[in-house]
Amino acid sequence: MGSLHCAGMCGALVLMTPVVGHSRTSRAASRAFYHLGRIITYSLIGLLFGMIGKSIVFAGLQRWLSFVVGVLMLIILFAAIPLKAQLTRIPVSIKSLFGKFLRQRSYSSIFALGATNGLFPCGLVYIAATASIATGAIASAAVYMILFGMGTLPMLLSISFAGQRLNLVRFPLLRKLAPFGAVVVALLLIVRARPVTLFSPRSNLRCPACLLSQ
């Protein structure tokens, strides 16, 4: 579902990504380095949010973690809509850095270009990072964000290989469908933390993994 959002928002950026050489192998390697940099940035974001989840677990609030994260995701999706312009405004420093790497043609610069792209303000990334808190562990949150990034690969690679022939990028409907996936994830987190688990004095759950498995 996130791929639909990426097609509308990042499709043009993928088409602009420079390549090293003219062979199929070099073009494929260039795209691989770009997405590797992007996914590594996502994993670092996951590490940061995982620290928040770990702190909550240490505080003894793990029973509430899944419920609170699910509600927070819904708030970000709907209550923060008026703030969308401010939340998605790209800082000048990131713009200039992205432009610098965009003018270079080396694997290292393409990797850096993808890593910089991962820093672009994006509501979908914010939602995924918030959901990663529910893992309650630093490494698990990083893995969550890696899988989130990998989930966008099929769509973005299709765009980069098909080029302008892939007209899906031009359909604004794609971006409107993407939030439904986030709503499903948020509701799943809330349901997993059902009241009998949260409020029952007999509950002896002691870790987020146990909570999410119920």
CA distance 192 to 74: 15
CB contact set of 184 (below 8 Å; sequence gap of 6+): 1
Altogether, the residues listed in the chain come to a count of 214
CB contact set of 146 (below 8 Å; sequence gap of 6+): 39, 42, 43, 46
Q: Which residue has 């990797």 as its token pair?
A: 111
Six-digit token string for 99:
């432009």
pTM: 0.71
Higher pLDDT, 45 or 64: 45
- Segments forming the whole domain that contains residue 138: 2-213
Q: Convert the pLDDT of each residue in 179-200 to its tens digit.
A: 777 777 778 777 776 654 444 4
Q: With bands split at pLDDT 50, 70 and 90, how would you rate the model's confidence at 33?
A: very high
pLDDT (0 to 100) of residue 183: 79
Q: With bands split at pLDDT 50, 70 and 90, how would you rate the model's confidence at 131?
A: confident
Number of domains, the chain: 1
